Amino acid sequence: MYKKYIKRLLDLFISIIGLPVFGIIFIIVGPLIHKEDGGPVFYNATRLGKDKKPFKMYKFRSMRVNAPDYRNEDGTTYNGDEDPRVTRIGRFIRKTSIDETPQILNVLKGEMSIIGPRPDLMDALDVFEPGEEKKLEVRPGITGYSQAYHRNMIELHDRFAEDVYYANNVSFRMDLNIFLKTIQTVLLRKGVYRDESNRKIVEKERQ
């Protein structure tokens, strides 16, 4: 009952309440993003949604326009404190997770949930191991189990394992715990960047 009906109703309720907050953030942050380099305020990234359906995920832009696509050796997106691609305002909105707030619009559209596995890049389909696609049976979330407890500190397939665990055990209690843990993680700025020592970074060619 919760997974099929109540969870979606809660998503709508929370996102509608959150719209004014998003509006205030946009009024403050939007001009700062545009002023720094004259680029667009939003970055619309194609991501893998429920049942493998692609969708455009909205974010406040934190990188310079046409920045190269850097990946960690395990295929996850590179995220470092000294990343030259990131703008000054981008560093702030990343550390505070403000860059993710536009995804409330994805929740209203039914493409995402407040709580769920973080949406993957489309090429995740090429690296899923048996059983890992199970995570795609639920809507991706603005925050999720792995995001709340590990943020960016966990390896790719470890994150997939936690995503599958979530998909198999969705409950109101779990979502509430994830929501409260996310607040703690963001306020304490835990796990924003992975350890960069001995980390191989590669640039992925644009398609």
pLDDT truncated to tens, each residue of the chain (207 aa)?
898 899 999 999 999 999 999 999 999 999 999 999 899 999 998 999 999 999 999 999 998 888 777 776 666 676 666 788 889 999 899 888 899 999 999 999 999 999 999 999 998 999 999 999 999 999 999 999 988 888 777 888 899 999 999 999 999 999 999 999 998 888 776 555 554 444 444 445 443
CB atoms within 10 A of CB 55: 20
How many CA within 13 A on the CB side of residue 40? 9
Helix or strand holding residue 16 (H, E): helix 7-37
Q: Reduce the DSSP state of residue 101 to 3 states and report it.
A: helix
User: Rounded to a whole number, what is the largest CA-CA distance in the chain?
Assistant: 48
Instruction: Report how many helices (DSSP H) and strands (DSSP E) the chain contains, helices first.
Output: 6, 6
Cβ(119)–Cβ(49) below 8 Å: yes
pLDDT tens by residue, 84-102: 888 999 989 988 889 999 9
CA distance linking residue 172 with residue 106, whole number of Å: 21
- The continuous run of DSSP H or E covering 157 comes out as helix 156-168
Half-sphere exposure for 69 (CA within 13 Å, toward CB): 9
CA dist., res. 115 & res. 174, Å (int)? 9
Rounded Cα gap, residues 14 and 4, in angstroms: 17
Q: Are 7 and 175 in contact (CB under 8 A)?
A: yes
| pLDDT at site 192 | 54
Question: If you ran DSSP here, which 8-state letter would residue 70 be given?
Answer: E
The H or E element containing residue 59 is: strand 54-60
